[in-house]
């Protein structure tokens, strides 16, 4: 509480007396304000409670992604919400703040319920045919560590690979691999949306084409693997950084579902889809196509942003149709990009089951 010194008001000119009165009243008012807010001190528990409310709120907001594009962004950080909320629940429990601990635990469990299914449901049974290895890498156009990627490719020896964000510099550097991967299609671009496909397996057809109206290229390749047809689609939608880009990404995912539905035989989609498994638009893609997330049974496997583990999210995807059996899935090391590579080992069943037409609405 501020102390107000006695001010002589009976001597001196009238202007000085008025000034003394105004200063005295202001000091009294400010002292009263300090006293009022001192009843609500900022404490560590208060800050922790506020952070818990924010994390709980964004947990709910993440389910409302169809209403507004920023809400959809909140759906991508389920692992972060879970770790933070379970940590605050433990701290509240130690501080004997049971209601706050229960609140944090409830919202932590909501997020955990969305993460746990990724650790179950692997399609891996037994390999009826030979095992094929696929590689997906977003190289990052500005990445200058070309040799690091080439060394990694030689170490994992994929049968085919989809490379995203390639420009002419990257394609020139990758010419060193042509002897091992003689079958290729590529479209170089300097805007982070170039794409390339390299394979040691001959393909029946391969084309660079647009999917959706954003004008970014995708690659569609058809193989015969052990007598079974396999179509590989490599794609890279725009990032959802604004209403227009979000709409373009969602429209590309819808068109991708149409394309998958028109295909026969096995299908594999490889791409930086700029979304996670918890987005409503990703769930729409899975529902409409019947494709399966290859991470099922192998866990989160976040792939971006490399080097910033507190913000890691899984946006680099491999989706497979029934009859494509995933035996192993893993992320690779730092190759200088802001994405980690994704390596998938799979085989094709001898008799591919019939795929129903897509559920397009």
* Domain harbouring 323, CATH code: 3.60.10.10
Least confident of 240-254, 293-307, 340-354: 340-354
pLDDT at 29: 53
Q: Quick one: CA torsion of 268, 273, 279, 281, rounded to 10 degrees? A: -70
Last residue within a domain, chosen from 117, 139, 160 = 117
Domain that holds residue 207: 125-348
Q: Which of 84, 117, 150 is the last residue of a domain?
A: 117
Whether pLDDT at 14 is above 70: no
Rounded Cα gap, residues 233 and 245, in angstroms:
21
The mean per-residue pLDDT over the stretch 304-308 comes to 96
Most confident of 22-31, 121-130, 237-246: 237-246
Query: Rounded mean pLDDT of 7-21?
Result: 47
291 and 265 share a domain?
yes
Residue 349 pLDDT > 60, yes or no? yes
Residues 168 and 313 reside in one and the same domain: yes
222 and 81 assigned to the same domain? no
Sign, CA dihedral 64-65-71-75, equals: positive
* pLDDT above 70 for 90: yes
Using CA atoms, how far residue 127 sits from 58, 130, 131, 132, 345, in Å, is: 42, 7, 7, 10, 10
> If you average pLDDT over residues 184-211, what whole number do you get?
97
Total structural domains within the chain: 2
Same domain, 205 and 70: no
Q: Which helix H or strand E contains 136, and what residues bound it?
A: strand 132-138
The pTM of the full predicted model, rounded to 2 decimals, is 0.86
Task: Place 354 in a pLDDT band, splitting at 50, 70 and 90.
Answer: low
Are 306 and 177 found together in one domain?
yes
Largest pairwise CA distance in the chain: 109
Q: Among 11-20, 316-325, 351-360, where is mean pLDDT lowest?
A: 11-20
pLDDT tens digits, 211-243 = 999 999 999 999 998 889 999 999 999 999 999
Rg (CA), the chain: 29
Indicate whether 79 and 153 sit together in one domain.
Answer: no
């Amino acid at each position: 509480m501020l102390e107000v010194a006695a001010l002589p008001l009976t001597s001196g000119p009238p202007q000085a007396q008025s000034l003394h009165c105004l200063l005295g009243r202001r000091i009294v008012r400010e002292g009263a304000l300090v006293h009022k807010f001192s009843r609500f001190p900022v404490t560590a528990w208060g800050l922790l409670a506020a952070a818990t409310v924010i994390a709980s709120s964004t947990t709910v907001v993440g389910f409302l992604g169809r209403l507004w594009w920023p809400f959809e962004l909140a759906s991508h950080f389920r692992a972060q919400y879970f770790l933070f909320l379970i940590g605050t629940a433990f701290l509240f429990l130690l501080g004997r703040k049971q209601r706050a601990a229960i609140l944090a635990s409830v919202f932590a469990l909501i997020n955990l319920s969305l993460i746990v299914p990724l650790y179950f449901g692997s399609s891996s049974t037994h390999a009826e045919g030979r095992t094929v290895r696929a590689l997906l890498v977003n190289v990052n156009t500005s990445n200058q560590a070309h040799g690091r990627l080439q060394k990694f490719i030689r170490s994992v020896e994929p049968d085919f690979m989809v490379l995203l964000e390639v420009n002419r510099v990257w394609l020139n550097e990758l010419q060193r691999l042509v002897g091992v991967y003689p079958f290729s299609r590529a479209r170089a671009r300097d805007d982070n949306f170039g794409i390339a496909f390299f394979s040691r397996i001959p393909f029946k057809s391969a084309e660079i084409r647009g999917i959706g109206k954003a004008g970014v290229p995708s690659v569609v390749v058809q193989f015969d693997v052990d007598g079974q047809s396999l179509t590989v689609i490599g794609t890279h939608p725009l990032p959802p950084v604004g209403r227009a880009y979000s709409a373009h990404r969602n429209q590309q995912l819808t068109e991708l579902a149409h394309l998958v539905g028109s295909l026969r035989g096995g299908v594999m989609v490889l791409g930086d889809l700029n979304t996670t498994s918890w987005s409503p638009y990703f769930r729409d893609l899975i529902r409409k196509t019947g494709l399966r997330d290859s991470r099922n049974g192998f866990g989160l496997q976040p792939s971006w942003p490399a080097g910033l583990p507190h913000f890691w999210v899984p946006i680099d995807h491999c989706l497979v149709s029934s009859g494509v059996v995933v035996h192993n899935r893993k992320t690779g090391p730092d190759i200088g990009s802001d994405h980690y590579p994704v390596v998938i080992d799979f085989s094709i069943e001898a008799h591919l089951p019939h795929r129903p037409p897509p559920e397009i609405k």
